[in-house]
Structure 1
Amino acid sequence: MNARKHQPRSSRGDAWDILGSRRRRVVLAVVSETDGAVERAQLARRVAALEEGTRAVEVNHDVERATEIRLHHVDLPRLAAADLVHYDPDLGIVENDELPLEGEEWLEMPVVEALRTWNGYR
């Protein structure tokens, strides 16, 4: 049995609140396309690039740093609490947790339906 299905809803967080943030969906899109772990700084650069519609190498350092700070303090802890990613804040590493969608699917709205299925709701 999947332990996630037996956790109280409040410990997983409110899916609507978590996925209501486009940035968190962008994070999930990036992480779901990554094999293994991704460093927080690299994730921040890729997220900022997607948000700005540019290439990762073109992201301004200040924008990348601001994105990384918000990821560390706000977005990654929320996603980890909902069991959507594994986040080690000390190592600055984020890992995929067998997500129900991949890549840009997180940026589309069938997300809610996928979460219901993933959480065991039919």
Structure 2
Amino acid sequence: MNIVLWVLASVLAVAFLAAGTMKLSQPKQKLAASGMGWTEDMSAGTVKLIGTLEVLAAIGLVLPPALGIAPILAPLASLGLALVMLGAVVVHARRRETQMIAVNLVLFALATVVAWGRFGPHPL
């Protein structure tokens, strides 16, 4: 199970590192034009904050346990990502973007499994 949790954490880290970097490096208008219509409902600062949280969580999922320094940050990072995904579900539900809700629910489930595993039966 430890290997499964590492794989899930790594997949989440790659996905959120890419998503967060995109939100941090591109202007809000370009993100909206590329299919992230929800950014039109948010301020530029909020979009950058979400990107920052995603990048920090991606780093927190892998780096602390890999280095053996403060490994408690890994389950906290996955719990944080689960909360971000719940917020994303709410935003997409208000916008009636059902495909994005499904994606967010899958990411929520993966993050929840990692948090459960690392807080519970398979701590680092």
Q: TM-score, normalised by structure 1?
A: 0.32
- Structure that is richer in helix per residue: 2
Higher relative contact order (CA 8 A, sep 6+): 1
Q: Computing the radius of gyration over CA atoms, which structure comes out larger, 1 or 2?
A: 2
